[in-house]
Amino acid sequence: MLTFIFRVLLVLAIVLAWSSGSPQNSMAQDTTIQLPAPEKTGGMPLNEALASRASNRSFSPQALDDKDLSQILWSAFGVTRDDGKRTIPTARDRKELAVYAVLTTGVYLYNAENNTLTLALEGDFTKKYANSPLTLLYAAPDNKFGALHAGSAYQSVGLYCASANLANVVKTTGADELKGQLKLPDDYQVLVVQSIGHKG
Ligand SMILES: Cc1cc2nc3c(=O)[nH]c(=O)nc-3n(C[C@H](O)[C@H](O)[C@H](O)COP(=O)(O)O)c2cc1C
């Protein structure tokens, strides 16, 4: 009897050890990307960035590195102060904007507080967005402030792109490309998208 109980316990221990290292668990870790801390100094002088901001519609297939990715997302909606306030102002300080990054590995939600990306939708959807290696989707609630917040964010990113000599274009065409597939917070909708990459 004791041998039987021992065998059952041994099997249970093996199953538990296997499941804690199973692909499902390692997937859970891979669904979060930790970005490097954004650089808060340097870059092109503001007047030069304003003078050179422009839309570009041709992208190199070369992926952006994590440093650029971090800087772009921080420009869009990153934290700038200890109280959690952002690179852009938001009405009533309610921070009602969700920024998603479409990468070849999936669509990720930007979490500004910890500077991470969390997988929101698996799959490569970059071909829906002119094959640019990065497209930001700006989603906001359906109220009078949403488009204003998205506009502030894409202008910040446009200026960063000018400063870093990257291509970018803002489009309302394509805002509905992932409708029904990308689960958004209640009342949120994608208002506008911004494709970004090295110049093609
Ligand atoms: C809200 C908004 C929506 C836009 N939608 C599109 C679009 O659907 N397709 C497109 O090719 N360009 C789109 N654009 C880019 C504009 O055509 C572009 O900004 C304009 O031609 C001025 O050029 P510039 O950005 O180089 O100054 C959009 C720009 C904004 C701000």
**pTM, full prediction:** 0.87
| Reported confidence tier of residue 24, pLDDT bands at 50, 70, 90 | very low
Is 165 touching ligand 1 by the criterion CB < 6 Å? no
Pull the structure tokens for residue 183. 């689960």
Q: By percentage, how much of the chain surpasses pLDDT 70? A: 85
pLDDT at position 13 over 50: no
Facing residues of 103 across strands?
106
- Which residues neighbour 9 within 8 Å (Cβ) at sequence distance 6 or greater? none
pLDDT at position 22 over 50: no
Decide: helix, strand or coil at residue 160.
helix
Whole-number average pLDDT of the chain: 89
Cα distance between residue 125 and residue 158, in whole Å: 22
Is 173 touching ligand 1 by the criterion CB < 6 Å? yes
pLDDT at 14: 44
pLDDT at 96: 97
pLDDT at 160: 98
Is 171 touching ligand 1 by the criterion CB < 6 Å? yes
> How close is the Cα of 169 to the center of ligand 1, in Å?
7
Which pLDDT tens digit goes with each residue over 152-170?
999 999 999 999 999 999 9
| Reported confidence tier of residue 9, pLDDT bands at 50, 70, 90 | low
Among 172, 173, 191, say which to mutate for ligand 1: greatest number of ligand atoms within 8 Å of CB.
Answer: 172
pLDDT at 19: 40
